[in-house]
Amino acid sequence: MEQGDVRVILLILIVVVCFVIWRFQKWSTGASRRRGRIPRHANIPEDDVVDLLEGAGFEVFAGKTKIPISITISERDHLESRLFIDYFVQKEDDVYLVKVARDRKPLEMTGSAVRDMLLPYTLIYPEAQGILYVDMAVSKIKKITFHIEV
């Protein structure tokens, strides 16, 4: 084997290793991005909530969305549950999740209550800028953002 052949083989090996590393990084970050893909629906209901959001400058691009959850306990018991997001909205380049206040499950504005009720949505859709909590009884929109220190 000549000196030039060794250089060509080393160059090919370096290119292959770089390609494999690049693909692995793309694959590992792509899995987390797919997890929270924000939906877009064409069938958005025309109601008071949508009117309030649009009046505040938000563009509603998705209506009620169901997030199915499968739970396994001790590798034997399987449970099913779900979370619902009422709307997805956008203002300029910022995307927000919308939860509408419900009479049967009011949100106390304490740190632990807001965390317990709304943090899961932020963790599912980390690309969202925050959550808009809409209280139609007083026609008010509250923007909630979480800042987690690790």
Strand-pair category, 94-100 with 130-135: parallel
* 34 pLDDT tier (thresholds 50, 70, 90): very low
pTM for the structure as a whole: 0.70
| Residue 81 pLDDT > 80 | yes
State whether 9 and 76 are in the same domain.
no
State whether 64 and 119 are in the same domain.
yes
Token pair recorded at residue 75: 């590798």
- Domain containing 92 equals 36-144
Q: What is the pLDDT of residue 117?
A: 92
Strand-pair category, 87-91 with 94-100: antiparallel
Distance of CA 34 to the CA centre of its chain: 10
Q: Give me the CATH number covering residue 80.
A: 3.40.1350
Between 77 and 43, the more confident residue is 77
Please give the Cα distance from 131 to 89 (Å, whole number).
10
Between 58 and 43, the more confident residue is 58
Q: What is the pLDDT of residue 42?
A: 67
3-state SS assignment for residue 13: helix
Q: What is the pLDDT of residue 142?
A: 94
| Residue 40 pLDDT > 60 | yes
State whether 60 and 131 are in the same domain.
yes
